[in-house]
Amino acid sequence: MNHPVNDLRQRVESQFDLDSAEPAWTEVFETACAVLDTIQQLEALIASDGLLSSGSKGQAVIHPGVVELRHQRRAYAALVQQLGLPDRPETTTPRSGLREGPAQEAGSRPRPLRTPSVEGR
């Protein structure tokens, strides 16, 4: 079974020359890979432990990993949107058009990060 982080790296590296990517893009990409790895670990933990755990008084409570998994998935979605990547590793046709236009050219670079607008500037 392939690891989703490896699959993501291979897919992106096959489309872009990451050596020529902007450092900020590369940093966000590496963070997205780390978050995806955390997601996989949390999913494995929850699969092993179950959705419920025991609270301080012995009552059944939702496994704390479930809440953290939700946060990590949101963080991953935001990162891949910022990068213009597909939001699910198993997606074969990216919504952002990574396989279209300049991405097909040799030495193409990932598109730049979107700069958030700041009011008052």
Per residue in 50-69, pLDDT tens? Answer: 999 999 999 999 999 999 99
Determine the pLDDT at residue 98: 36
> Is the pLDDT confidence value at 76 over 70?
yes
pTM over 0.85: no
Determine the pLDDT at residue 1: 57
Alpha helices in 1-121 (DSSP H): 4-15, 23-49, 64-83
Determine the pLDDT at residue 86: 59
Give residue-wise pLDDT tens across range 3-27.
889 998 998 888 878 888 899 999 9
C-alpha to C-alpha distances, 88 to 13, 59, 65, 92, 108, nearest whole angstrom:
16, 35, 20, 9, 22
